[in-house]
Amino acid sequence: MIMEAIPFVLIGVLLSGLIQIYLKERWIVRIMPRSRIVSSMLGCALGILFPACECGIVPITRRLLGKGVPLHAGIAFMLTAPIINPIVLFSTYIAFGSSWTMVFARAGLALAVALAVSVTVGYLFPALPLRSPTAEPQIAASSEQIAGPASSPPLSSQIIGVCEHAIEEFFSVGKYLILGAFIAACIQTYVPTSSLLSLGSSPVTASLLMMGLGFVMSLCSEADAFIASSFRSTFSIGSLSSFLVFGAMIDIKNTLMLLAVFRGKFVLVLIALVAAFTLLGSLLIGRLLH
C-alpha cells in the first residue's frame, strides 16, 4: 500500500508547493463564483485537471484552502479529483471489460455525492475547520516574502520555495499514510473477506458492505476498479459503484491525513455525509440499472 501510494503523495505535495508559490490569492478571488452551488460545481470540475489519488489530494486541498478557496469548493475538489480524472476513469473502463456503464455510474455518483456533500458542509461549517488555522496566514506571509509584492524572484528561488513546501507537506502527511496502511493491512490479514461477503444479502446491506470494504482495503483509486470487477458475479452495479466512490473518497489512510489537517468533528461529519449520499446514490443506480 505504501509503495503504491508514495508516487501520488509526491505528486500531491509537489502540486501543493507549486500552488503555494505561484497561485495568488487575488486570482482566486477573481475567478471564484459567489454562489455556493456554482463554486462547488467549479471545484468538482477542477478534479478533471488533477490526476491525483486520495493519497495525495489532502495536502493539495489544504493549500488551496489556505490560499482562500472556499471550504465547499475545496471539499468538492477533494472528493472528485481521485475519481473523475482521466486516469481513473480509463482504468475503470479497462477493468470492466471496456464497458462504459460502470464508468458513467462511478463518475455520475461521484459528482452527485461531492456536490451534495460540499454544499451541505458549506452551510454546516461557515468557519474554516482547520486544525491549526493560524498556520496558514503565516505560510501565506512567508510566501509573500519569497515572491515579493512588486517583482518576481529568480527562478532558482522559486524552485527552492516549491521544494521546501513540498518537503514540509510530505513529512506532515507521510506519517499518517504509513499508520493508515499498517492498520488497513492488519484488518485485511485478520478479517477474512469471505465472511464479510455473506452479509450482503439485500441492496442496502450490499452497498454498506462494499463501502466498508472500500474503506478497509484502502486501495489507490487508480487500481481499485480491478478489485471491484472481481465482485461482478456477486454484487450489483449499484453496490459496486458504492465501493468505487466511497473507498476513493474516504479510506483509512486519508481519514488519518484528514484528521491531521481538519478538526475531528468536521472529519466525522464529512465521513457521515459521504456515506449517506453514497448509499442513497448507489441504491438509485441499482434501481435504474436493475
Cβ contacts of 226 within 8 Å, gap of 6 or more? 91, 95
pLDDT tens profile 5-31: 677 667 767 776 776 677 665 676 577
Q: What is the DSSP-derived secondary structure letter of residue 191?
A: S
- pLDDT for 128-152, tens place per residue? 998 875 444 333 434 444 344 445 6
Task: Please report where in the chains the cell 446491506 appears, as a residue.
Answer: 205
The CA distance from 64 to 140, in Å, is 11
Rounded-to-10 torsion of CA 118, 30, 11, 130: -50
pLDDT of residue 230: 79
Q: Pick from 8, 17, 16: which is nearest to 54 by CA? A: 8
Asked whether the beta carbons of 117 and 281 are under 8 A apart, the reply is no
Provide the pLDDT confidence category of residue 102 given band limits of 50, 70 and 90: very high
- Cβ atoms 115, 72 nearer than 8 A: no
CA distances to 24, 37, 48, 95 from 30, in Å:
10, 17, 21, 41
Locate 70 and state its grid cell: 472556499
